[in-house]
Structure 1
Amino acid sequence: MLRLRTCVLDHLISSPATSPVSSLHRLVSAAALAVSPNPSFAVEEYLVSTCGLTRSQALKASAKLSHLKSPANPDAVLALLAGLGLSTTDIAALVARDPLLLCAQVEKTLAPNVAGLTGLGLSRSEVARLASIGPERFRSRSIVSKLHYYLPLFGSSEYLLRALKRNFYLLSADLDDVVKPNVAYLQECGLGACDIAKLCSRQPWIVTANLERVQAMVECAENIGVPRASGMFRHALHAVAFLSEDKIAARVNYLKNTFSWTDAEVGMAVSKAPTVLARSKESLQRRSEFLISEVGLEPVYIAQRSEIIGHNLEGRLRPRYYAVKFLKENGLLKRDPNYSTVFKISEKAFRKKFIFPHKEAAPHLTEDYDAACKGDVPTNFRFT
Structure 2
Amino acid sequence: MIGSGLGLGLRLLNRRFGSETGFQIRIILSVYDLPLSDFYCTPSIISNLSFSCFSSVASPAKSSDSNPFIVDYLVEAFGLSKTQALAASKLRMGMKDSKKPESVVHFLRQLGFSEAHVRGAVRVSPQILFSKIEKTLKPKLKLFQEIGLTGSDLGRFISKNAGLLTVSLDRRLIPCMEVLKKMFTIYGGHRSLILVLQRCKWVLTSDPEARLLPNISLLESHGIVGSQLSALFRRQPTLFLMRESALRDQLRRVVEMGVSADSRMFVHALHTISCMSPETLRGKFELFQGFGFSEEECMTMFEKMPVLFRCSEVKLKFGIEFFMNVIGFEKMVLVQRPMCLMYSIEKRVIPRYRVIEILKSKRLLKKVPIFLHVVELPEKKFVDRFISRFKDDLEELLVAYKGAVLDSSEEDEST
> What's the TM-score, normalizing by structure 1?
0.77
Q: Which residue is 1:36 aligned to?
A: none
1:94 equivalenced with 2:121 (yes/no): yes
1:188 equivalenced with 2:190 (yes/no): no
CA contact (8 A) 1:167 1:205 kept: yes
Higher alpha-carbon deviation: 353-362 or 303-312: 353-362
Aligned-pair distance for 1:230? Answer: 0.8
CA contact (8 A) 1:218 1:237 kept: yes
Higher alpha-carbon deviation: 232-241 or 126-135: 126-135
Aligned-pair distance for 1:168? Answer: 2.3
**Unaligned stretches of 5+ in structure 1?**
1-39, 375-384
SS at match of 1:324: helix
Aligned-pair distance for 1:81? Answer: 2.8
Q: Which residue is 1:69 aligned to?
A: 96
SS at match of 1:176: coil
SS at match of 2:395: coil
Aligned-pair distance for 1:175? Answer: 0.7
Q: Which residue is 2:353 aligned to?
A: 321
CA contact (8 A) 1:327 1:333 kept: yes
Aligned-pair distance for 1:247? Answer: 4.1
CA contact (8 A) 2:211 2:243 kept: yes
Compared with structure 1, are the counterparts of its residues 185 and 323 closer, same or farther at alpha carbon in structure 2 (3 Å cutoff)?
same
Q: Which residue is 1:274 aligned to?
A: 306
Q: Which residue is 2:377 aligned to?
A: 345
1:59 equivalenced with 2:91 (yes/no): no
Q: Which residue is 2:23 aligned to?
A: none
Q: Pick the aligned partner of 1:150 from 180, 197, 218.
A: 180
Please give the residue correspondences for 1:1-384 in structure 2 after superposition, counting only pairs within 5 Å.
42-51=69-78, 53=79, 57-66=80-89, 67=92, 68-140=95-167, 141=169, 142-154=172-184, 155-241=188-274, 243-257=276-290, 259-371=291-403
Q: Which residue is 2:50 aligned to?
A: none
Aligned-pair distance for 1:128? Answer: 2.9
Aligned-pair distance for 1:44? Answer: 4.0
**Unaligned stretches of 5+ in structure 2?**
1-66, 407-415
Q: Percent identity?
A: 25
SS at match of 1:101: helix
Compared with structure 1, are the counterparts of its residues 326 and 94 closer, same or farther at alpha carbon in structure 2 (3 Å cutoff)?
farther
Q: Which residue is 1:7 aligned to?
A: none
Aligned-pair distance for 1:49? Answer: 4.7
SS at match of 1:177: coil
Q: Please give the per-residue CA displacement for 1:210-258, whole angstroms capped at 9, x wherever unaligned.
A: 111111211211222211111111110111115444443343232222x
Q: Distance in 2 between matches of 1:370 and 1:147?
A: 48
Higher alpha-carbon deviation: 217-226 or 333-342: 333-342
CA contact (8 A) 1:220 1:245 kept: no
Compared with structure 1, are the counterparts of its residues 120 and 363 closer, same or farther at alpha carbon in structure 2 (3 Å cutoff)?
closer
Q: CA RMSD in A?
A: 2.6
Q: Please give the per-residue CA displacement for 1:138-166, whole angstroms capped at 9, x wherever unaligned.
A: 34324344223213424333323333333
CA contact (8 A) 2:374 2:382 kept: yes
> What's the TM-score, normalizing by structure 2?
0.72
SS at match of 1:91: helix
Name the amino acid aligned to 1:82. Answer: R
